[in-house]
Structure 1
Amino acid sequence: MNERVLTPRSRGFLFLDSHPAGCAQSVADMWDACPAPTPAGAPDGDGPVALVVGSSAGYGLAATLAGLKRVGIRGIGVSFEKGPTERRTATAGWYRTAATADLARAAGRDLVLLNGDAFSDSMKDQVADLVERRFGGRLDHLVYSVAAPRRTDPATGTTYASVLKPIGRPDRTKTLVFDEEGVPEVREVETAPAEGDDVEQTVAVMGGADWERWIDHLAARGLLAEGFTTAALSYIGSSLTAAIYRQGTIGAAKAHLEATARTLNERLGTTVGGRAVTSVNGAAVTQSSTAIPGIALYTGLLRGVLGEGLVPPVRQLAALWDQLTGVAPLDLDAEGRVRLDTWELTDGVQAAVAERWKTATTATIADLADLDWFSAEVRRLYGFSVPGIDYAAPVATDVPWPDPTSHARDAGTRAGS
């Protein structure tokens, strides 16, 4: 067994290695932070069958854990992660998936975790076969949470690449960086506007096309249960980051995602009495969000304003599961979106963050933002700075991917005991 002492090495917010024990503990901490089921939501026997596409990181991981604990889902999670090599550890999502499998097994929930290209039809076929053979041939819920740099359209073979750019004119914004010693710096960066087919490419990757293809694939196999619900996870955010996000290329993709939700909602309502929504979540430190100019600074300032009032993803997703399963009514805005971000976007909170943003410089940032929290959150994405872990001790890095055949046997044994 390959054991190593691992120390955090990074290039900006990207870490070269991940810590298996730290990743496992971070998943356990998320599980503990998830609210327990209400009496109305506690599973009676087998829970609903759910598919989470993008289950290993960020809000997709939160959706998986909250679904397991809050409503007792069983079913399938799909992600794309890299295993360990001689020179590198596995990705953090690989280790988080292994820990998620352990928690599902301990809870007696049959959860199959697949590693592969969620955009491919071969993965959709694999999932459909599992739903048919292992989960009674009916899927109750699908949560779609995919952030990817590129997508190959299985129908045409064309590969599209997403970009983070404003639309129409350059965007100059403040952003937060840390040097190799962890010293924070507030810089101004300028991002050139989208050109050519940048918008179309980004929409093809991050819009609703693949989400709709998942629904088409499962519906064609007759696998959508009566009352089937599906939610794609999204973000709107602050006016401070709107030029690069909601009004930029990613925002165009989010608008396409929301338009897809309206189309799917009408269709599912007619065919299976179902619903399709987008869920607008609040700000969080994720591996994808740290790549967006200005988001790191905004999130650090937001935490400085709200402190413990910043709602973690697993609590937001617990609220979403309540709505998807009928424990709580669907609470939709005028655009038909579930809004889990209202705590972030109140006038008072946004005014306080905007005031701090105006005066944020390298000299003042430590007084305005919760930098200790933010930098620790970034490291925790990779399993570092997790309380309770001895980072001086060697740790096994060759953790296997969860065996998809073991969960049904273990869950069945528990259910029958």
Structure 2
Amino acid sequence: MSLRHIDPKQRGFLIVNSHPDGAAETVHRMWEQIPARGDGSSPVVLLLGHSSGYGLATLLTGLRQHGIRGVGVAFEGAETERRTATAGWYRTAAAAALARGAGRDFVFVNTDAFSTAGKEQALALVEERYGKVDYLIYSLAAPRRTDPATGTVYHSVIKPLGGPYQAPALDFSGDTPKVGQVSLEAASDEERHATEQVMGGADWRLWVEALAGRGLLADRFTTVALTYIGSELTAPIYRQGTIGAAKEDLERTAGHLDAELADGGRAFTAVAGAAVTQASSAIPSIALYTAFLRTVLGDGFRTTAEQASELWDQLTGATPVVLDEQGRIRLDGWELDDKVQDQVRELWADPEAGLEHAQNGADWFMGQIRELYGWGVDGVDYRRPAETTVGWPTPHA
């Protein structure tokens, strides 16, 4: 037991500690916002990257609406003398408690999903406890990856391709958000390749091959990797940059896997809409764009859980699978609607004036960032000491 009074340690977007009660409350709140329903199927799911963002939403929605069983994999930091555990650690503990309370058999592994040892650990648990896997959901985001075959460590970068990038960006260094400028040099060929190796399809393929090697692919096995396209406004730093090159590699991998899978197996990428996540907050200009988008849409800004529900319905056959010309599942129509994007462009054309109009959107964005770490969550008493020592959930018989 370790009761501590903790305050957020924050500089700009960077928050280096988390609040266990606040992080847990974000999970409980998302759970309650997901309409409960069941189709009685209880498929076996291996979910890579379950502890945050779209991975967490896919987990909770799958548990709440489809009774999924299986294994979640994430790589989270435990509490130390100087720091709390990561927010993802506390979110996992909260999700595990909700799953148990709902009678769901879902367990969690804390390991480096990129490593051979991590794959062996997770797949041994899958094989022992569940048998064949119906769905593999790939939602990993990390700054680096070690190639298990060569030992090469690749570091991803967020840079444009073909030329420098300069654009407006939100600056949270002062008391109120303001518009700044971000300037980045173009990535080298080596940096592009490294980003593809971290964020592209190489590791996704290794997971599918590892499942196949153990005979763990169910008939009609389906795998999906979550991805993003976004607006033309952010394309130079996202879809046309190093991250976009990695996403294109991910999409090519989906096509190859789909062609190779036997017994009716399927592989897709699913294009989600904008969201405030730990990964997206690190991308220059995304915060300003998302603040403008929220201002335009208001409550029409679709949550990650709403999008995850739509994804599960398509994967399970509750609704037809709808693909674009590139064979991708699209969940982002609400964001890329022409009328919505026209209004965002108007704000973007004069970002300082746009921010005056979108001040609530900017405040909302920063509030969402704080909530990712368990801070500023309604209903949490931050004046009281919090129990920061929370065990990683262990499988029950």
1:239 is aligned, of 210, 232, 236, to 232
For residue 340 of structure 1, what is the aligned residue in structure 2? 331
**1:54 corresponds to 2:49:** yes
For residue 415 of structure 1, what is the aligned residue in structure 2? none
Q: For residues 179 and 132 of structure 2, what CA distance do their matches in structure 1 show?
A: 51
Q: For residues 126 and 178 of structure 1, what CA distance do their matches in structure 2 show?
A: 41
For residue 127 of structure 1, what is the aligned residue in structure 2? 122
For residue 17 of structure 1, what is the aligned residue in structure 2? 17
For residue 85 of structure 1, what is the aligned residue in structure 2? 80
For residue 140 of structure 1, what is the aligned residue in structure 2? 134
1:74 is aligned, of 37, 60, 69, to 69
Instruction: Give the TM-score of the pair, scaled to structure 2.
Output: 0.98
Q: Which moved more, 1:364-373 or 1:241-250?
A: 364-373
> Which secondary structure does the structure 2 equivalent of 1:400 belong to?
coil
Q: For residues 276 and 391 of structure 2, what CA distance do their matches in structure 1 show?
A: 27
| Contact 1:224/1:272 (8 A) holds in 2 | no
For residue 6 of structure 1, what is the aligned residue in structure 2? 6
- Which letter maps to 1:51? L
1:297 is aligned, of 288, 291, 296, to 288
Q: For residues 49 and 356 of structure 2, what CA distance do their matches in structure 1 show?
A: 34
> Which secondary structure does the structure 1 equivalent of 2:393 belong to?
coil
| Identity among equivalent pairs (%) | 55
Q: What does 1:310-349 correspond to in 2, within 5 Å?
A: 310-349=301-340
For residue 368 of structure 1, what is the aligned residue in structure 2? 358
Measured after TM superposition, the shift of residue 366 of structure 1 is 3.6
**1:163 corresponds to 2:165:** no
1:378 is aligned, of 354, 369, 383, to 369
| Contact 1:55/1:77 (8 A) holds in 2 | yes
For residue 249 of structure 1, what is the aligned residue in structure 2? 242
| Contact 1:280/1:339 (8 A) holds in 2 | yes
Q: For residues 389 and 25 of structure 1, what CA distance do their matches in structure 2 show?
A: 8
2:380 is aligned, of 373, 389, 395, to 389
For residue 31 of structure 1, what is the aligned residue in structure 2? 31
> Which secondary structure does the structure 2 equivalent of 1:311 belong to?
coil
Q: For residues 127 and 46 of structure 2, what CA distance do their matches in structure 1 show?
A: 13
| Contact 2:348/2:354 (8 A) holds in 1 | no
4+ residue runs over 3 A deviation? none
Q: CA RMSD in A?
A: 1.1
Unaligned runs of 5+ in 2: none
- Which letter maps to 2:220? G
Q: For residues 399 and 366 of structure 1, do their structure 2 counterparts lie closer, same or farther at Cα, with a shift above 3 Å needed?
A: farther
- Which letter maps to 1:254? K
Residue by residue over 1:200-233, the C-alpha shift from the partner in whole angstroms, topping out at 9 and shown as x without a partner, is 1000000000000000000011100001111000
**1:226 corresponds to 2:219:** yes
Residue by residue over 1:286-310, the C-alpha shift from the partner in whole angstroms, topping out at 9 and shown as x without a partner, is 0010100000000000000000000
Q: For residues 227 and 396 of structure 1, what CA distance do their matches in structure 2 show?
A: 44
Measured after TM superposition, the shift of residue 156 of structure 1 is 1.1
For residue 189 of structure 1, what is the aligned residue in structure 2? 182
Q: For residues 383 and 35 of structure 2, what CA distance do their matches in structure 1 show?
A: 33
Residue by residue over 1:321-371, the C-alpha shift from the partner in whole angstroms, topping out at 9 and shown as x without a partner, is 11111111111111000000000001110010010111221x651422412
Q: For residues 306 and 288 of structure 1, what CA distance do their matches in structure 2 show?
A: 22
| Contact 2:145/2:154 (8 A) holds in 1 | yes
| Contact 2:220/2:264 (8 A) holds in 1 | yes
**1:398 corresponds to 2:389:** yes
Residue by residue over 1:244-292, the C-alpha shift from the partner in whole angstroms, topping out at 9 and shown as x without a partner, is 0000000000000000001111112xx1211100000000110010100
Instruction: Give the TM-score of the pair, scaled to structure 1.
Output: 0.93
Q: For residues 228 and 104 of structure 2, what CA distance do their matches in structure 1 show?
A: 30
Unaligned runs of 5+ in 1: 410-417
Q: For residues 189 and 335 of structure 2, what CA distance do their matches in structure 1 show?
A: 34
> Which secondary structure does the structure 2 equivalent of 1:240 belong to?
coil
> Which secondary structure does the structure 2 equivalent of 1:166 belong to?
coil
For residue 414 of structure 1, what is the aligned residue in structure 2? none
Measured after TM superposition, the shift of residue 35 of structure 1 is 2.9
Residue by residue over 1:88-137, the C-alpha shift from the partner in whole angstroms, topping out at 9 and shown as x without a partner, is 101110000100100110111111100010001112112221222110x2
Q: For residues 276 and 147 of structure 2, what CA distance do their matches in structure 1 show?
A: 29
| Contact 1:178/1:185 (8 A) holds in 2 | yes
> Which secondary structure does the structure 2 equivalent of 1:242 belong to?
coil
Size of the alignment, in residue pairs? 396
